[in-house]
A and B are shown apart, each in its own frame.
Chain A
Amino acid sequence: MKRIALNGAGLLVALFAAFPVYWMVATSLKPNREIFASTPRPVPAQPTLEHYREILTGNLIPGVTFLDFFLNSVLVAVATVLLSGLVALFAATAVARFRFKLRTSFLIMLLVVQMIPLEALVIPLFLMIQRLGLYNTLPSLILTYLGFSLPFAVWMLRGFVAAVPKELEEAAAIDGASRMQTFRRILFPLVAPGLVATSIFSFITAWNELIFALTFVNDQSRYTLPVAMTFFFGRDDTAWGSVMAASTLFTLPVIVFFLLVQRRMVSGLVAGAVKG
């Protein structure tokens, strides 16, 4: 009896959590007459890819397709990931491998800057972008997202670096390896999985961001996907099939990546809260 009640509650939670995602995908696969039918169907009766074809082949604005926005987003996110991964790896190595004077201050600063409300930085960063002449360019966004993703990336990576046994590096040093060689041959390969996890986090940060992309880029052909979606969505409130197809394409990579790293995110955010 108790078992049944618990399982029932579990199913309710699962339904509440997963239903919107399911409904997004289901709607994207329905022909219009099913989407706008007076009685909604829980499952598409005649699934169709017409909405996907529509958004992938049609021009959202003259000469620019969904794919162009997708590529803008990929470009920005990948550049962010590469830059922030490299810089974070250096910093994490410094913090996890060396004891130096400002180490604790640096760690506290990392925690504090993660709490800066980024929404409050739109105006001063807009000023900086204007001054640098980067307004209306994708690098303006890469620069912005680099700053946003870096503190958490360092925080997360330092755990991975610390987890590599120091003895391995010491052994390499004894064998006469230089510091650079030790870093490249010993530490880097062992930290690589952590670097991937961290990169995925930075990717999601850059991929999902809306406000700054909305503010720093004016030329429609340079919109990232979230801005294009807002624009595309605001223009026509009734094309729900295409909107859901676009949403699905936007969401899919995030869900896949997210499931790969979510464990680390929890441990990064509540670091030290639970003694294990």
Chain B
Amino acid sequence: MSTLTEAPEAAAARETPARRRPRVDRLPYLLLLPCLAIIAVLLLWPLGQVVAMSFYKLNNVRQLRGTREWPWVGLDNYVQILGDPFFLRVLRNTVLFAAANVVLTMILGTLVGLLLNRLGKRMATFVASCVMLAWATPALTGTIVWKWIFDDTSGLVTWLFNKLPDGLSTALFGRSDWTGYGWFNSPLLFFAILTLVVVWHSFPFIAVSVLAGLKSVPSELHEAARVDGAGPWRVFWSVTFPMLRPVFGILVVLSTIWDFKVFTQQFVLAGGTQDRTTFMLSIYSYAEAFSPPPKYGLGAAIAVILTLILLLVTGIYVRMVLRQEEDA
């Protein structure tokens, strides 16, 4: 219980902080200090450092430890990368992969979100729980399981294709015996399976977010549109989509950022960094830097290019979020 004599005093202290306390309250800055220090040292400084490293020729771990000097090479690393036809192939792989994955994830996620909104309560809970499982599974183990499903001898997909009537299988694919078929050997098939794995991992987030958005749209709007004779397609594009436009915007940007830098799934599916034909930017940068012989400078330059691309996308994202914080 407060004593009556203290209360007005404390209240006065709050109303006239200038008299009782130092002019600027230092406490919030003190509270922020550890967080700022960690972000500066572990995220911002390395970000600057990766740019700096891209201007040096760094091919030896002793240079990193500081016992050997760093020869400055200016833009040589960039010139070398941008002039290499292989880089263009990697860039094309990355952009096409990200585009395909964003589109597929958004379509599947939105459809599942709409479906969850229409299902009965028990069914919706069941389906949503299953969808959560895919989301919760770590990228590493999710990918390992898909690799097992596509195993060339006892994998489920190999068995399914073997089950196809021989004539049909031969007519369609030119082979009837799939045992020993290397699902990951052709780059196109590899990317298709990688897309399957990534979409499987990422559609739940879209579905749940779209569902959350749908719940906030008053159902009267849908009913009114339906009474006016609009079909489901029309209702979606004329009512649902405009209402959810901000959610879709953010989801597309987040997906783009995530799909541009897929690493774990690719690393596990390809079994390391040996297969250069399926390289995308993030794994290319890693392989240049860390597979022997190490080329840290070159890897850094590729990382800078990847970062610049994502920076562009991030700019769009931050503007969207800020606009919504203002509206809210």
Interface residues of A (CB under 8 A from B): 3, 6-7, 9-11, 13-18, 20-21, 23-24, 27, 35-40, 87-88, 90-91, 93-95, 97-98, 100, 103, 106, 108-109, 111-113, 115-117, 119-128, 130-131, 143-144, 146-148, 150-151, 154, 170-171, 173-176, 179, 204, 207-208, 210-211, 215, 226, 229-230, 233-234, 240, 243-244, 247, 250-251, 254-255, 258-259, 262, 266-267, 269-276
Contacts and interface: CB of A to CB of B under 8 A. Distances in A.
B14 A173 contact: yes
A18 B133 contact: yes
30 contacts: A6-B115, A21-B134, A21-B145, A23-B145, A24-B141, A35-B154, A40-B156, A91-B36, A94-B31, A115-B313, A115-B314, A117-B260, A117-B307, A119-B263, A120-B307, A123-B53, A125-B46, A126-B290, A126-B296, A147-B38, A154-B35, A174-B10, A175-B1, A208-B139, A210-B267, A229-B141, A230-B267, A269-B205, A270-B212, A274-B246
Interface in B144-161: 144-146, 148-149, 151, 153-154, 156, 159
B6 A17 contact: no
Nearest to A172: B2
B35 A14 contact: no
Contacts of A39: 159
Contacts of A10: 115-116, 119, 123-124, 126-127
Contact of B209 (A154, A233, A270): A270
Interface in B19-70: 25, 27-29, 31-32, 34-36, 38-39, 41-47, 49-50, 53, 61, 64-66
- The 6 A-B residue pairs whose C-beta atoms are closest, nearest first, are A147-B42, A258-B136, A91-B35, A124-B46, A124-B49, A94-B31
Nearest to B328: A272
Interface string B101-141: 00000000000100110111001101100111111111111
B228 interface: no
Interface stretch (B78-86, B164-172, B187-195, B317-325): B317-325
A108 to B, nearest CB: 7
Contacts of A17: 130-131, 133-134, 200, 204
Contacts of B49: 124, 127-128
Contacts of A124: 45-47, 49-50, 53, 300
Nearest to A122: B286
- Of B126, B136, B325, most buried by chain A (CB within 10 Å of CB) is B136
A127 B136 contact: no
B314 A24 contact: no
B268 interface: yes
B171 to A, nearest CB: 24
A243 B299 CA distance: 32
B32 A20 contact: no
**Interface of B (DSSP majority class):** helix
B271 A234 contact: yes
B90 interface: no
B219 interface: no
B46 A121 contact: yes
Interface residues of B, number: 112
Contacts of B25: 98, 100
B148 A240 contact: yes
Contacts of B146: 20
A227 to B, nearest CB: 10
B289 interface: yes
A174 B11 contact: yes
Given A108-B318, A125-B46, A270-B209, 16 more contacts: A14-B131, A17-B134, A23-B145, A35-B154, A40-B159, A90-B32, A94-B28, A109-B39, A111-B321, A120-B285, A122-B303, A124-B50, A124-B53, A130-B64, A176-B2, A270-B251
A15 B261 CA distance: 28
Contacts of B307: 116-117, 120
Interface in B248-280: 250-251, 254, 257, 260-261, 263-264, 267-268, 271-272
Contact of A254 (B1, B47, B124, B138): B138
A123 B50 CA distance: 7
A226 B317 contact: no
Contacts of B53: 123-124, 127
Contacts of A122: 285-286, 289-290, 303
Contacts of B304: 120
Contacts of B65: 130-131
B46 A128 contact: yes
B149 A274 contact: no
Contacts of B285: 119-120, 122-123
Contacts of A230: 140, 267-268
Nearest to A265: B205
B99 interface: no
Nearest to A207: B138
Given A91-B35, A130-B61, A276-B216, A6 B145 contact: no
A205 B286 CA distance: 20
B39 A211 contact: no
